[in-house]
């Protein structure tokens, strides 16, 4: 299991910069998710680490080895591709054995390792099938087995779940996580689904237009977004625009004075972000420092586990509030047009 | 009510469609049917049916010679075009480089230039080379094979690139990530995957070479003849069951090659 | 849980090399083919272009010169212009007829659900395409000769008392051309129809469009690129046709490609043959490009 380090890595396509000065350190056994909108450079970065694309500038290292210009077949990476890329003319067992063959592993040893790997993904009975006879989820697991059987230094997954349906995605994601942590594989997981990233990663790298917006644990990225982009990409956000008055006070455009916790050195605060689930209904309790706003309910949406309320504030802005449907019929109490007062503590105001 | 009208319309569509198929198949059907006619002169209704024109045709020396030469040239031309065409198709489908479109157009150009025009041009060129270098070219087997390879090549390139298009780049990438050098990737992964395209390409190349008239007219030497040329010569004097039998044999052979090709590579994807 | 033999037995990938230039590889793979086409097609064509500027002399066959007299002769002689126009007219008519005939067949084929029937029908139209010009001409001659099947059947049925001259007329050549070109048009159109989801037709019909209107307003614009490429291909092939006019049209039927052959091989007037060949190429190419531009303007990039 190697550490990965990228230093000032660029990728140019003609005149455009797909990846701009990326520097990143990934520790042994860590699962890092690269997440961002299409075109942000996350897949390009993965491909450079894999050796499938050549960096225009910068250095890529596995442990201390400089692999920047090393061809893919010398890098000992295990890759799970978006389309799985299972060799259609080979059986499942032959697919998984391929990497071992390339490493000149003896026939009986290889058979044993293949069986083990397939057992780990619970597909031992499918060894003699052809890829086209398997479902999407099964193919995905075969691709995984093929990548891990060679004991790679690095495991790379390029949007491995995007072709699966929603329920399956969560199942397989958990399985990938289980395998990865039990084998202590240094892993990079590329996805455009922020929920997936938050659910699987040790650390998340949020990327946008070739640059890194924030690196942090899921909690850091969700609870302390570094900027507007991260706040809007990860999770749902309510934005309150306005002007920073300093000292933890923010003057909204509508003229309300809102409080936030000024915790660390930050640039100028341009907006406050409040997560929908952090907003409480009712007036602020007496004596608390909570922020309070009022408005009328514009839309009520029942979402199953929670109720989404769209509130049209008196200031004209719209915010969303999520309340858990803890008692049956909870949603029924809300009516469109009804007046509502809401509050939240200063700690829930995220400055960006 | 509406559905009856729809069915009527549908029926008209089907009738029109099959009428068109009939036009396409007419010469083929005629040739096959007549090849079995008893009488030497075509008459309707035929007085009987027989197979003896087929037996006859093989005994006609020039048909036999023509058949053998067409076969030989077809096999050699197909083989050469496979050897040079498959790598070319791979390079075109997999690599990005300046002028890729131009190279692709160039390799397809033998299909686009009129058969007679390129035949004439090659003929004149070969004569010039002969005159300049004392090396015989125009009337030789070598020259003929070169010209046939030229017309066979686009089919290989076209069909192999088509079979690569469906296939992921990521298969080669997966192989290389598992430690396969480019050479191993080619033989273990790429080649098996493009095999349908290769088989279909080979079939089409052979068919196109075997049936060629325009190039062969210019480039066969004295004493040599291909089957299509012999058929054309015969047709200038006779229209009878014998020639129908020969035409049927050629068509059946080509039909078999195409049926085989279809098993590997759907015919509709070819065009 | 770890893979047995975990960290101790580490399987490393082979060797230690550097990334080779992908472009250099591509060039070496392409070299033989490109060389073949350049030497055996492009170079000869250039040579022939050069010849078209030479002077013909019955004794020496060809005298090096730089003259346009061959082209002048072609365009100045109403006979040759007639040949060109007949070729053009016949090719256009055949292409159009092919289009009309092919549309229902291609549509039917595309929407056919039965796979084996589809394969059979596709084979049935592709085999005639590739059966070879000589064999196909044999078929038409068998059918259309004075003593051919059609006449014999019609006489036998009492519809005719004497055979009707069909072979060696321009209609026969037209029919022959159409039968050659139809498979190409059908297959081109079929793949385009395949690309148009039936849901478009269903949507149109649910909005009240009857089949013919649906076809005209919805289907036709969507298949235009295919119509265009199929028609172009057919037109070019018709212009270049050799075996069909020669065999079905007979020796007195004049079209461009046979004339080129005649001048090159029978008369041995290479300069003139070369100039005719180039007139053929240029006319065909120009018309193709013009039509392409016109269509792109109307329908966007095809």
- pLDDT tens readout for residues B108-157: 888 878 888 888 899 989 988 988 888 888 788 899 999 999 999 998 99
- pLDDT tens readout for residues A221-232: 999 898 889 999
Residue A203 shares a structural domain with residue A283: no
Residue A175 shares a structural domain with residue A291: no
Residue A208 shares a structural domain with residue A245: no
Contact A240, A274 (CB under 8 A): yes
Nearest by CB to residue C4, choosing from A76, A104, A116, is: A116
Across B48-87, b (16+ Cβ under 10 Å) vs e yields eebeebbeebeeeeebebbbebbbebbbbbbebbbebbbb
Q: H or E segment at C179? A: helix C170-195
Cα B114 to chain centroid, rounded:
16
How sure is the predictor about C18, in pLDDT bands with cuts at 50, 70 and 90? very low
Q: Domain segments of chain C: what residues? A: 63-299
Residue A79 shares a structural domain with residue A212: yes
Q: How far apart are CA B6 and CA C212, in angstroms?
A: 11
Does the beta carbon of A170 lie under 8 angstroms from any beta carbon of chain C?
no
Whether B115 and C240 lie within 8 Å, measured CB to CB:
yes
Instruction: Report yes or no on A228 lying in a domain.
Output: no
Query: What are the phi and psi torsion angles at A326 (to 5°)?
Result: -75, -30
Contact C256, C87 (CB under 8 A): yes
Whether B258 and C211 lie within 8 Å, measured CB to CB:
no
Interface partners of B (3+ CB pairs, < 8 Å)? Answer: A, C
Whether C139 and B88 lie within 8 Å, measured CB to CB:
no
Q: How far is C247 from chain B (nearest CA, A)?
A: 8
Closest residue on chain C to A76 (Cα): C13
Nearest by CB to residue C13, choosing from A74, A117, A149, is: A74
Q: How far apart are CA A53 and CA B260, in angstroms?
A: 40
Residue A135 shares a structural domain with residue A175: yes
Does the beta carbon of B259 lie under 8 angstroms from any beta carbon of chain A?
no
Q: How is residue A152 written in tokens?
A: 């790679």
Q: Which CATH number is A330's domain given?
A: 2.40.50.100
Chain C (263-282) residues lying within 8 Å, Cβ to Cβ, of chain B: 264-265, 270, 273-274, 277, 280-281
Contact C12, A65 (CB under 8 A): no
Whether A151 and C3 lie within 8 Å, measured CB to CB:
yes
Which strand ranges, in their side-by-side order, compose the sheet holding A65-66?
Answer: A16-26, A4-13, A57-62, A65-66
Contact B243, B234 (CB under 8 A): yes
Percent of chain B with pLDDT over 90: 22
Mean pLDDT of C165-172: 86
Residue A102 shares a structural domain with residue A56: yes
Whether C152 and B255 lie within 8 Å, measured CB to CB:
no
Predicted-complex ipTM score: 0.82
Q: Domain segments of chain B: what residues? A: 60-269
Which pairing describes strands A203-208 and A31-35: parallel, antiparallel, or unpaired?
parallel
Mean pLDDT of A153-167: 90
Closest residue on chain B to C205 (Cα): B6
pLDDT greater than 70 at residue C22: no
Neighbouring-strand partners of residue A257: A251
Which strand ranges, in their side-by-side order, compose the sheet holding A186-191?
Answer: A77-80, A154-158, A186-191, A31-35, A203-208, A211-216
Q: How is residue B231 written in tokens?
A: 């058929």
Q: Which CATH number is A184's domain given?
A: 3.40.50.300
Which pairing describes strands A257-259 and A249-252: parallel, antiparallel, or unpaired?
antiparallel
pLDDT greater than 60 at residue C13: no
- pLDDT tens readout for residues B18-70: 999 998 998 898 888 888 888 888 777 778 888 888 888 888 888 999 999 99
Q: H or E segment at C165? A: none
pLDDT greater than 60 at residue C11: no
Question: 0.90 cut: is pTM over it?
Answer: no
Does the beta carbon of C158 lie under 8 angstroms from any beta carbon of chain A?
no
Residue A193 shares a structural domain with residue A64: yes
Percent of chain A with pLDDT over 90: 59
What's the pLDDT at A264?
63
Q: Is C300 left (phi over 0), alpha (psi -120 to 50) or beta?
A: left
Average pLDDT, chain C: 82
Whether A54 and C19 lie within 8 Å, measured CB to CB:
yes
Residue A217 shares a structural domain with residue A305: no
Between residues C274 and C63, the one the model is more confident about: C274
Q: How far apart are CA A25 and CA A142, in angstroms?
A: 29
- Domain total of chain A: 2
Q: How far apart are CA B147 and CA B215, in angstroms?
A: 7
Interface partners of A (3+ CB pairs, < 8 Å)? Answer: B, C
Domain that holds residue A304: 236-351
Q: How far apart are CA A187 and CA A158, in angstroms?
A: 11
Chain C (4-23) residues lying within 8 Å, Cβ to Cβ, of chain A: 4-6, 10-20
Helix B100-112 to helix C22-37 angle (10° resolution) is: 20
3-class DSSP state of B270:
coil
Closest residue on chain A to B183 (Cα): A73
Nearest by CB to residue C10, choosing from A71, A149, A151, is: A151
Mean pLDDT of C46-71: 81
* Options 1.10.3720.10, 3.80.10.10, 3.40.50.300, 3.90.550.10; CATH of C63-299: 1.10.3720.10
* Options 1.10.3720.10, 3.30.70.100, 1.10.150.120, 3.40.50.1000; CATH of B60-269: 1.10.3720.10
> Residue C54: exposed, middle, or buried by beta-carbon count in 10 A (0-12, 13-18, 19+)?
buried
pLDDT greater than 90 at residue A321: yes
Instruction: Report yes or no on A230 lying in a domain.
Output: no
> Residue A15: exposed, middle, or buried by beta-carbon count in 10 A (0-12, 13-18, 19+)?
exposed
How sure is the predictor about C6, in pLDDT bands with cuts at 50, 70 and 90? very low
Between residues C5 and A172, the one the model is more confident about: A172
- pLDDT tens readout for residues C230-255: 898 889 889 888 888 888 888 888 89
The residue behind tokens 């031992």 is A124
């Amino acid at each position: 299991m190697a550490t990965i380090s990228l230093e000032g890595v660029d990728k140019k396509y003609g005149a455009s910069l797909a990846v701009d000065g990326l520097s990143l350190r990934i520790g042994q056994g860590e699962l890092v998710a690269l997440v961002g909108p299409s075109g942000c450079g996350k897949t390009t970065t993965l491909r450079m680490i894999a050796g499938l694309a050549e960096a225009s500038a910068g250095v890529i290292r596995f442990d201390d080895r400089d692999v920047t210009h090393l061809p893919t077949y010398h890098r000992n990476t295990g890759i799970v591709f978006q389309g799985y890329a299972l060799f259609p003319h080979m059986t499942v067992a032959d697919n998984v054995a391929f990497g071992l063959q390339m490493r000149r592993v003896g026939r009986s040893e290889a058979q044993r390792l293949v069986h083990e790997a397939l057992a780990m993904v619970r597909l031992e009975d499918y060894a003699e099938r052809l890829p086209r006879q398997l479902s999407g989820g099964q193919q995905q697991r075969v691709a995984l087995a093929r990548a891990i059987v060679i004991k790679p230094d690095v495991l790379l997954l390029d949007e491995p779940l995007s072709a699966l349906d929603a329920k399956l995605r969560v199942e397989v994601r958990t399985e990938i996580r289980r395998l990865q942590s039990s084998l202590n594989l240094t892993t990079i997981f590329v996805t455009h689904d922020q929920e997936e990233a938050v659910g699987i990663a040790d650390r998340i790298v949020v990327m946008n237009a070739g640059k890194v917006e924030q690196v942090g644990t899921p909690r850091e990225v969700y609870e302390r977004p570094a900027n507007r982009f991260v706040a809007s990409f990860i999770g749902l956000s309510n934005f309150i625009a306005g002007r920073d008055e300093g000292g933890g006070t923010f003057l909204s455009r509508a003229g309300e004075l809102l409080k936030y916790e000024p915790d660390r050195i930050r640039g100028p605060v341009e907006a406050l972000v409040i997560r929908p689930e952090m907003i409480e209904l009712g007036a602020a309790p007496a004596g608390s420092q909570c922020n309070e706003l009022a408005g009328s309910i514009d839309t009520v949406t029942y979402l199953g586990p929670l109720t989404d309320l769209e509130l049209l504030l008196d200031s004209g802005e719209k915010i969303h509030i999520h309340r858990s449907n803890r008692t049956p019929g909870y949603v029924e109490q809300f009516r469109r047009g009804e007046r509502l007062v809401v509050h939240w503590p200063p700690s829930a105001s995220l400055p960006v | 009510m509406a559905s009856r009208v729809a069915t009527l319309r549908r029926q008209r569509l089907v009738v029109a469609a099959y009428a068109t198929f009939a036009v396409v198949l007419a010469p083929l059907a005629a040739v096959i049917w007549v090849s079995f006619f008893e009488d030497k002169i075509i008459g309707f209704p035929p007085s009987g049916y027989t197979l003896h024109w087929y037996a006859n045709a093989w005994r006609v020396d020039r048909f036999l010679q023509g058949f053998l030469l067409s076969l030989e040239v077809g096999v050699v031309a197909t083989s050469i075009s496979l050897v040079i065409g498959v790598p070319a198709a791979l390079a075109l489908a997999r690599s990005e480089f300046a002028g890729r479109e131009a190279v692709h157009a160039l390799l397809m150009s033998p299909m686009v230039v009129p058969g007679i025009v390129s035949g004439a041009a090659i003929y004149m060129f070969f004569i010039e080379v002969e005159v300049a270098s004392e090396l015989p070219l125009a009337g030789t087997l070598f020259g003929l094979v070169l010209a046939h390879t030229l017309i066979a090549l686009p089919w290989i390139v076209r069909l192999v690139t088509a079979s690569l298009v469906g296939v992921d780049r990521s298969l080669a990438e997966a192989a290389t990530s598992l430690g396969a050098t480019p050479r191993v990737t080619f033989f273990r992964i790429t080649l098996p995957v493009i095999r349908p395209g290769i088989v279909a390409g080979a079939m089409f190349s052979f068919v196109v070479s075997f049936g060629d008239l325009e190039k062969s007219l210019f480039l066969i030497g004295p004493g040599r003849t291909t089957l299509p040329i012999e058929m054309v010569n015969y047709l200038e004097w006779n229209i009878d069951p014998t020639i129908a039998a020969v035409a049927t044999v050629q068509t059946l052979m080509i039909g078999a090659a195409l049926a085989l090709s279809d098993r590997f590579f759907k015919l509709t994807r070819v065009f | 849980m770890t893979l047995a033999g975990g960290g101790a037995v580490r399987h490393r990938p082979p060797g230690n090399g550097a990334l080779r230039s992908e472009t250099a590889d591509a060039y070496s793979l392409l070299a033989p083919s490109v060389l073949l086409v350049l030497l055996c097609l492009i170079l000869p064509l250039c040579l022939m272009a050069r010849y078209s500027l030479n002077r013909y002399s019955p004794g020496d066959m060809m005298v090096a010169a730089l003259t346009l007299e061959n082209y002048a002769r072609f365009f100045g002689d109403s006979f040759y212009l007639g040949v060109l126009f007949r070729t053009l007219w016949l090719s256009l008519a055949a292409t159009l007829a092919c289009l009309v005939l092919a549309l229902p067949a291609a549509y039917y084929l595309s929407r056919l659900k039965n796979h084996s029937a589809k394969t059979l029908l596709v084979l049935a139209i592709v085999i005639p395409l590739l059966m070879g010009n000589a064999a196909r001409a044999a078929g038409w001659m068998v059918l259309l000769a004075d003593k051919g099947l059609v006449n014999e059947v019609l006489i036998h049925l009492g519809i005719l008392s004497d055979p009707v001259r069909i072979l060696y007329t321009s209609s026969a050549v037209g029919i022959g051309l159409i039968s050659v070109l139809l498979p190409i048009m059908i297959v081109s159109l079929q793949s385009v129809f395949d690309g148009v989801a039936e849901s478009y037709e269903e949507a149109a019909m649910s909005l009240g469009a009857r089949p013919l209107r649906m076809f005209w307003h919805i289907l036709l614009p969507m298949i235009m690129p295919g119509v265009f490429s199929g028609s172009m291909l057919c037109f070019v092939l018709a212009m270049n046709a050799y075996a069909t006019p020669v065999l079905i049209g007979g020796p007195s039927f004049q079209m461009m490609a046979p004339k080129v052959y005649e001048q090159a091989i029978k008369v041995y007037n290479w300069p003139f043959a070369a100039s005719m060949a180039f007139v053929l190429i240029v006319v065909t190419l120009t018309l193709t490009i013009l039509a392409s531009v016109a269509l792109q303007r109307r329908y966007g990039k095809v």
